[in-house]
């Protein structure tokens, strides 16, 4: 029997060559990208997501599960969409990459 392999979900990661410096301040965080010499003001949720990616590459679903565990949330369609949308935004800012 032949099994078709489903394509793997993309893995998101931050570039190790340019580690992001993340500092949390209440509901916001500052993120400094040394490679681009840019500073970003993001919400705390985005900071937590970036911190998760600084440890190891993860898929959108893996990030959703990790964030849900850390914040005591349910992994539901809203969280999955929020994480997916945020990943797209962070990619657009050049803070993360996808493979």
Domain ranges of the chain: 19-98
pTM: 0.84
Buried b (16+ CB within 10 A) or exposed e, 36-71: eeeebebeeebbbbbbbbbeebbbbebbbbbbbeee
The class (CATH top level) of 19-98 is mainly alpha
Longest dimension (CA), the chain: 55
- Would you write out the chain's pLDDT as a tens digit for each of its 99 residues? 444 443 456 688 887 678 899 999 999 999 998 888 899 999 999 999 999 998 889 999 999 999 999 999 999 999 999 999 999 999 999 999 988
For the chain, how far is it from start to end, CA to CA, in angstroms? 30
The residue among 34, 26, 31, 76 whose CA lies nearest residue 49 is 31
């Amino acid at each position: 029997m032949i099994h078709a392999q489903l394509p793997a979900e993309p893995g998101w990661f931050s570039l190790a060559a340019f580690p992001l410096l993340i500092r949390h301040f209440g509901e916001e965080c500052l993120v400094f990208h040394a490679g681009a010499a840019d500073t970003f003001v993001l919400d705390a949720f985005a900071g937590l997501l970036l911190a998760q990616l600084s440890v190891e590459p993860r898929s959108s679903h893996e990030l959703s599960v990790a964030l849900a565990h850390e914040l005591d949330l349910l992994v539901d369609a809203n969280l999955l969409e929020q994480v997916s949308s945020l990943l797209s935004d962070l990619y657009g800012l050049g803070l993360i990459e996808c493979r």
